[in-house]
Amino acid sequence: MSDDKQIASRLKGFLLRREIIITAVIVALLTFLLISRGVPMILTIFIDFAIFAIVTMSLNLEVGYTGISQFGRVLAVIAGAFGAGAIPGRVMAAIMGLPWGASYAEATVNFKLVPQLTAVLEKSWFLSIVFLIFCLLVAALLGAGVGWLTSRPAIRLKEAYLGISLLAFGDLFMWIGHNWEPLVGATTSVYIPDPFRFVPGNRFQAVVITVFVIAFLIYFFINKLTHSPFGRTLKMVRDNEISAAAAGKDVVKIRTQSLMIGSAIAAIGGALYVIYTGAATAIGFTRLTWTFWPWAFMMLGGIGSNLGVLLGVFLLTILRSMITIFRFQVFGFLIQWGIDPTWLEYTLMGAVIIVVVLFLPHGLVPEKVEPVLPAERVKKVTSSRGRFLT
């Protein structure tokens, strides 16, 4: 085969790869939305994608790489959101000599207090960045603590039993926040000092860029982690715990580490969400949004595939946005039959998930089996052994 034919064959194979096709579809849909709806819609999609990508990648680390039945992802997200809403603002208020105890979360006090704290941050970009980093550190530490806490039942329980236990943990924390006012205001919201207010007139763009960059930094971190010896150990535990234990691996410790790392990352996603919205509302963290949707994203993208998860979140976020935008324009005629197009988001997204499960059971970009050693190294080892035997 000539060099030109080889190049053409390689180019054709490259263009037919799933990830390239999906990326092209994403770019096409974004271009359509940019032309029809403008830049604000694209930025909204980007911020939703970035936050859910963080949460879904953390879920994939625990489920796809470690094999933990994690049906309580909302728990770590809540820990990060409550941490960002309850602690950094109080610390700042205490330093300034303002109310910071239980009264900080009271609606009449918090409503007046937080603008004062934001006014201080608005005057200093350095202080704003320090406050943002502090929020994320608090969230990550609380998330890791929650991960350790949930690892206790994960030591003894498996599959459905573990999944139900983690699901119950998530609901428990949500209802604690909803009923205990000193934490995050109970039935009312706790406002959060805004670390992006120092950007004049471009607050939304600054949030989008920051969260987007953090999401990709986390992607590179998880990708590096899962391709390290630790990542291969996670897969060993996922595939066969008995073999892992026989090989001298501490399965309990490994599962605990996976839950702590994954929960810390998910908590960062929860903190970024409440900082973006400006308030922490306990009842807003439901299992539908913060457990079911990440699972749907992960299944669509490919369980155990970091790139697949990233593309799956992006594609499904765009599809959800398009359904929300065009459901009345396209399906408005259903009203005369007594069908409210408002609920088509869940119906159509459920149909998308069913189609993917039926025709692409391993997701859009399935997990690739990668050798521990590079191909060249394997050839050298086998050739040297062949010479030794002869």
pLDDT at site 178: 83
Helices and strands in the chain: count of H runs, count of E runs: 18, 2
pLDDT at site 159: 66
Q: Which residues of 325-348 are buried (b: 16+ CB within 10 A; e: fewer)?
A: eebeeebeeeeeeeeebeebeeeb
Strand locations in the chain, DSSP E?
190-191, 279-280
Mind listing the pLDDT tens digit for each residue in 115-137?
A: 999 999 999 999 999 999 999 99
Is residue 169 exposed (0-12), middle (13-18) or buried (19+ Cβ within 10 Å)?
buried
pLDDT at site 343: 74
Which portions of the chain are predicted below pLDDT 70? 1-16, 154-160, 369-379, 381-390
pLDDT at site 11: 43
Q: Given this structure, which CATH class describes domain 45-330+341-389?
A: mainly alpha
pLDDT at site 222: 95
Check if the beta carbon of residue 121 is closer than 8 Å to that of residue 198. yes
Phi, psi values for residue 124, rounded to 5°? -140, 115
pLDDT at site 370: 65
pLDDT at site 10: 53
**Residue showing tokens 């009923």:** 179
pTM of the model: 0.88
Which of 353, 358, 369, 345 shows the shortest CA–CA distance to 300?
Answer: 353
